[in-house]
Amino acid sequence: MAQKTVVLGVIGADVHAVGNRILDYAFSQAGFKVINIGVLASQEEFIHAAIETAADVMLVSSLYGHGEIDCRGFREKCLEAGIGDILLYVGGNLVIGKQDFAEVEKRFKKMGFDRVYPPGTMPEVAIADLHKDLK
């Protein structure tokens, strides 16, 4: 399989960089070409990076609890930009307060995300899913 490209970043006004670095390392070690756009990233920055690098997937992280707000309309913007079929993964502390993750997952999938991960998910889980989804 040719090397697949992953755009990775932390969306919105979020500055949590440690998890971003861990994901960068894990996906790089797993053989992916990682384009890490860092923290404080907008939807447009993700999309621009994905187009520029012909990425296969965008991995969106959020740890400060506002991921649901920051991710609204993301799939629609991908469609407008001509990359509507790109894989979209999201994970982290996506909402404020204690909410049932099954409900959170349902809301993000309704927004067009292919995979939704709760806080504390190990990178290996997303890597395994990505191998499945890219086949």
- Encode pLDDT of 36-86 as tens digits: 999 999 999 999 999 999 999 999 999 999 999 999 999 999 999 999 999
CA 47 to chain centre: 11
pTM: 0.96
Q: Is 85 noted as a catalytic residue in this protein?
A: no
Q: DSSP letters along 23-78, please?
A: HHHHHHHTTPEEEEEEEEE-HHHHHHHHHHHT-SEEEEEE-SS-HHHHHTTHHHHH
**How far is C-alpha 24 from the chain's CA centre?**
12
Residue 96 to residue 50: CA distance in whole angstroms: 28
Name the catalytic one among 14, 24, 56, 70: 14
Residues facing residue 5 across a β-bridge: 33
**pLDDT class of 1 with cuts at 50, 70, 90:** low
Is residue 14 part of the annotated active site? The answer reads: yes
Mean pLDDT taken over the chain = 96
